[in-house]
């Protein structure tokens, strides 16, 4: 590859990187605003989690004890928290999917400049850890930690 072709290819690759970082900032802002709520016990128990799967609100209706036992409350809260966490994981994965797809289409800098690092490796470090928690089948590799916000 001659120098002019390599320069143009490098300029194109760097433009893609710049676009990716700009989009990443916008997506991270959207991600930070996400939350998810789930209910259990016929809608009398509701748990809300933030974009990281951390419990930010728990509500138990005054009517809970009309149809449910107090001994089961912990199980209902835990189940609702897990449902909400799974939902937020999916929302975040869907939000980040276009960035991951673009990253995979990016050229390797080492194809343009000998010994240069791979752009995809550089960009994968910028993707939030939560986006990397999914395996290739789209299923979470593990469950998020559920904590009470205080």
Determine contact, residues 64/73, Cβ cutoff 8 Å.
Answer: yes
pLDDT tens digits along 45-69: 999 999 999 999 999 999 999 999 9
How distant, in Å, are the alpha carbons of 11, 44, 117, 143 from that of 127? 23, 37, 17, 19
Whole-model pTM: value is: 0.66
Please, which pLDDT band fits residue 127 given cuts at 50, 70 and 90? low
* Rg, Å, the chain Cα set: 22
Domain range 33-126, CATH class: alpha beta
Domain locations in the chain as residue ranges: 33-126
Please indicate whether residue 8 or residue 96 has the higher confidence score (pLDDT).
96
Q: How far does Cα 110 stand from its chain's mean position? A: 29
């Amino acid at each position: 590859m001659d120098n002019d072709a390599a320069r143009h290819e490098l300029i194109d690759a760097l433009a893609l990187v710049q676009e990716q970082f700009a989009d990443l900032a916008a997506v991270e802002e959207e991600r930070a605003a996400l939350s998810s709520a789930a209910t259990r016990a016929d809608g009398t128990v509701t748990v809300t989690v933030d974009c990281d799967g951390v419990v930010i609100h728990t509500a138990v209706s005054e009517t809970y004890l009309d149809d449910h036992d107090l001994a089961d409350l912990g199980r209902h809260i835990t189940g609702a928290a897990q449902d909400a966490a799974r939902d937020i994981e999916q929302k975040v994965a869907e939000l980040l999917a276009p960035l991951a797809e673009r990253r995979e289409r990016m050229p390797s800098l080492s194809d343009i400049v000998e010994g240069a690092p791979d752009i995809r490796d550089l960009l994968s470090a910028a993707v939030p850890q939560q986006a990397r928690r999914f395996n290739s089948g789209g299923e979470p590799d593990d469950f998020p930690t559920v904590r009470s916000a205080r």
